[in-house]
A and B are shown apart, each in its own frame.
Chain A
Amino acid sequence: MIAELGHAALWLATALAVLQMVAGGLGLRAGNEAIVALARPAAVVQAFLATLAFLLLLYAFAITDLSIKLVATNSHSMKPFIYKLTGTWGNHEGSMLLWVAVLALSGGLLAGLERRLPEKTMSATLSVQGFVALGFYTFLLISSNPFERLPLPAPEGSGLNPLLQDIGLAIHPPTLYIGYVGLSVAFSLCMGALITKQVTPDFAKVMRPWVLGAWVFLTFGITAGSYWAYYELGWGGWWFWDPVENASLMPWLAATALLHSVSVLAARDALRTWTIMLGVLAFSMSMLGTFLVRSGVITSVHAFAVDPERGSFILALLGLYIGGSLIIFAMRAGHIAEGKRFSATSREGALVFNNVMLSAILAIVLLGTLYPVFTEVFDVRVSVGPPYFNPAGAIFAIPMFVVMAVGPLLRWKDDKPQRIQFEMLLLAAIAITVIALVAFFGSYDILPLLGLAFAAALGVASLLPLRGRKLSRVPTATWGMVMAHFGVAVSLFGMASESAFTSEKLAAVSAGGQEEVAGWTIELQSVDPIAGPNWTAVEARIIATRADGDGVLLTPQARNFWAPSQATSESALLTTWDGQLYAVIGDQAGVDANGNPRWQLRVWWKPFVTFIWYGGLLIAFGGVLSIIGRLQVDLKRRSAAKRGKERRDDVEALGGNAAPEPAE
């Protein structure tokens, strides 16, 4: 029954999406108020139905209902319970259902909560949102039905890839999806505003929390994913410029640009078309990522869905949504006035500059990701990897960091660079000092060196907007900006430090053997077999000692899962304030002189590597503060307006002689 209920809920949601689309669309013409009023409830009920469908699938996975094909092919009765649940989205169909559920949920939230926009714009927005949802429901139901039954229940499931049997799967995909799909609301709002030509600061204020919210989730999801890959893959890499990773970075870059430009639009009524373009771009990148990952165009046989039919389906959706929105953009953008003007040396000027830089980095990532696909058309295979992305991205990232440091110090509209002369000199001095110091103590590559310098300068610069202000009176949203910018500096510091100062030790060690790495003494005590719920492993007991400190026990494992049969290495991490010790146990490597078995040990000391993810969390937290700040202001304004109205009403009730109160 579960499967049938879920399936029916999806069909109902699809029907409601049609209703939402049509009703919203009719809102563009006057005289259909009765039908138009249905758009909002349609969206809200749809959100319930899609969420219900997802919960039902979750339940099917929880009880390992092996009569459902998806469960049988991706789960196993002996798997730990938590991984049974998370396994729901560890596959194409389940993750697509999660995607659609989040899409419906954000659509429902928008319809249920948002009352500030003009009715016409709102109708158009809901119509677009319904249209987008409809496409993805259809995709799900026609080519990737998660609730498909098996003719006969399977005796046992085939299990979940052991690499995914990790808490990372519980956090990373859902947060990332909320981020991707949250951008759909920004997309719909942009289209709604474009269609009704209402690209105004009010529209920007409505859109801002959605963009911020999606961006916070994206930031958090990418940070979590990076850390997951770092400890799970066993080689200490935290970013591989893999097409699949890039697919998550691109929407983030677009959303970062968007949230800055939407702030300019809200505060200064400038950058109207640019904001719309970015709104379209951000969600387009989310959908593009979906296409790349699920179509088999980019990854090899091991990707999610190599079914070319699915690929064509998503490509058709892409054509419909991205193509359609770009056509509307090309037709309508000319009718939108560019908005208020400003000089180059102003807050807006700096924001525009960095918007362009972010877009350029996005273009580089997009180019590097798609280029191997393009050359395959000519039967040429090329590899584009870190040695390309890092320097090519840096060309645009470096000027961006410079402007990011001084931008928040500038005034809106127009400012004189001389006014912040002192700050600029201070920051330049910090950067130069760091470069000189680091270059004096060792020879490092240019990019990590610059990274360290910019991290220091940016760290100080991000706090400068607080200078000379009473801290208790700084608006929450400003704290958010300070926090997020500081997070960028922290993260940059971690990346540069990891890249410049990591020490590596590979060795074959027998029990009792010792190795040295970067001031740490590593002693292998023993290697013992152990067993888990669905795996067996060898576990090394390693004592890591630093200088004259106490020894700390590390227990990396080499696991062998039996459903499906696969080996993984579980790294052991020792976190200190100034970095992380990363230990991995590999295969047995012969015997030593006394006939004792020797084991492959890999140990890294990565100074300040954790700052990469601390920074990511700070950035996300800054976003949260910013949302809170905006909501506070919004609520205050609403209650002020309400009080004002009450007072006027009172005055009228008191006799209506309505002498205007003197302004105090």
Chain B
Amino acid sequence: MRLLYLIPLGLFLFFGGVAGYMLTQPKQTNIPSQMVEQELPEFSLSPALEDVPGTSRADFTDGKPKLLNIWASWCVPCIAEAPHLERLKREGVEIIGIAVRDRPEAVEGFLSRYGNPYTRIGADDISELMLAIGASGVPETYVIDGEGNIRYQHIGDVRADHVDLLLEKLEEAE
């Protein structure tokens, strides 16, 4: 009978232990894509700007690893990551942009203000590609190898210390 009275205490201690552990852990808010290490799904997006070509899956199968950057002109962290994308471009990385739910004039304004690191920009007006590759927010950056396989997902804006990591992942994808 005594043991029975100890059950609530046991349950509470279990909860306290887990809760205490969770408090020490950084809060995980990202939802990782399950599409990493899978083939990039078939897609074709019209150009987001008149003078920059749109993009489709075929652009990712020419044997050279590339970055796929999901962004938008209305996204504040995208401004923060712009210079780092610029640096990646200088390192010789080809970055293909996906503008999510964006207007051409807004895209143009953003690029003229913060620079254009992209060789192609597809307009994803209804989050088609976002959903297809399991992206849950903007910005996200994917490393795609030369055969069109997703090799790595970076969630959130690219910061200075992520540049080398992405270069490394691109090299691995060779």
| B23, A323: Cβ atoms closer than 8 Å | no
CB distance from B60 to the nearest CB of A (A): 28
Interface-facing stretch out of B24-32, B39-47, B87-95, B138-146: B24-32
Given A330-B9, A333-B5: A374 in contact with B27 (beta carbons within 8 A): no
Chain A contacts for B9, CB-based, 8 A: 323, 326-327, 329-330
Q: Which of B22-74 contact A (CB under 8 A)?
A: 22-25, 27-29, 31
- Kindly state whether residue A433 has any CB partner on chain B within 8 Å: no
| A326, B23: Cβ atoms closer than 8 Å | no
| B19, A330: Cβ atoms closer than 8 Å | no
| A297, B23: Cβ atoms closer than 8 Å | yes
Given A311-B23, A376-B22, A381-B28: A277 in contact with B16 (beta carbons within 8 A): no
A134–B28 Cα gap in the complex (Å)? 34
Binary contact track A287-324/B, C-beta < 8 Å → 1, others 0:
00001000111001100001010011001001100110
Q: Which of B6-22 contact A (CB under 8 A)?
A: 6, 8-9, 12-13, 15-16, 18-22
CB distance from A600 to the nearest CB of B (A): 15
| A370, B13: Cβ atoms closer than 8 Å | no
Binary contact track A132-176/B, C-beta < 8 Å → 1, others 0:
000000000000000000000000000000000000000000000
- Kindly state whether residue B1 has any CB partner on chain A within 8 Å: yes
Chain A contacts for B18, CB-based, 8 A: 370, 373-374, 377
Main secondary structure of the interface of A (DSSP, over half): helix
| B31, A381: Cβ atoms closer than 8 Å | yes
| Chain A interface residue number, banded | 20 to 34
| B27, A295: Cβ atoms closer than 8 Å | no
- Kindly state whether residue B2 has any CB partner on chain A within 8 Å: yes
| A376, B23: Cβ atoms closer than 8 Å | no
| A315, B28: Cβ atoms closer than 8 Å | no
Chain B contacts for A374, CB-based, 8 A: 18
CB distance from A246 to the nearest CB of B (A): 15
Q: Across the interface, name the chain A residue whose C-beta is closest to B1.
A: A334
- Kindly state whether residue A664 has any CB partner on chain B within 8 Å: no
Chain A contacts for B22, CB-based, 8 A: 297, 373, 376-377
CB distance from A364 to the nearest CB of B (A): 14
- Kindly state whether residue A379 has any CB partner on chain B within 8 Å: yes
When the two chains form the complex, which single residue of A291, A323, A329, A334 contacts B19, counting CB atoms closer than 8 Å?
A291
CB distance from A224 to the nearest CB of B (A): 29
Q: Which of A323-340 contact B (CB under 8 A)?
A: 323, 326-327, 329-330, 333-334
| B27, A315: Cβ atoms closer than 8 Å | no
Chain B contacts for A318, CB-based, 8 A: 16
Q: Across the interface, name the chain A residue whose C-beta is closest to B13.
A: A323
| B27, A329: Cβ atoms closer than 8 Å | no
Chain B contacts for A312, CB-based, 8 A: 20, 23
A300–B28 Cα gap in the complex (Å)? 9
Chain B contacts for A322, CB-based, 8 A: 12
A295–B15 Cα gap in the complex (Å)? 14
CB distance from B155 to the nearest CB of A (A): 13
Q: Across the interface, name the chain A residue whose C-beta is closest to B22.
A: A297
| B29, A326: Cβ atoms closer than 8 Å | no
| B12, A326: Cβ atoms closer than 8 Å | yes
- Taking A315-B23, A327-B9 as given, write out 12 further A-B residue pairs in contact, using a Cβ cutoff of 8 Å, ordered by the A residue number: A295-B23, A300-B27, A301-B27, A318-B16, A323-B9, A326-B12, A334-B2, A334-B5, A373-B19, A377-B18, A377-B22, A377-B25
Give A contacts to B, CB under 8 Å.
Answer: 273, 277, 280-281, 284, 291, 295-297, 300-301, 306, 308, 311-312, 315, 318-319, 322-323, 326-327, 329-330, 333-334, 370, 373-374, 376-377, 379, 381
- For this complex, 17 residue pairs linking A to B, each with C-beta atoms less than 8 Å apart, are A280-B8, A295-B23, A300-B29, A311-B23, A312-B20, A315-B16, A315-B19, A322-B12, A323-B12, A330-B9, A334-B1, A334-B5, A373-B18, A373-B22, A377-B18, A377-B25, A381-B28
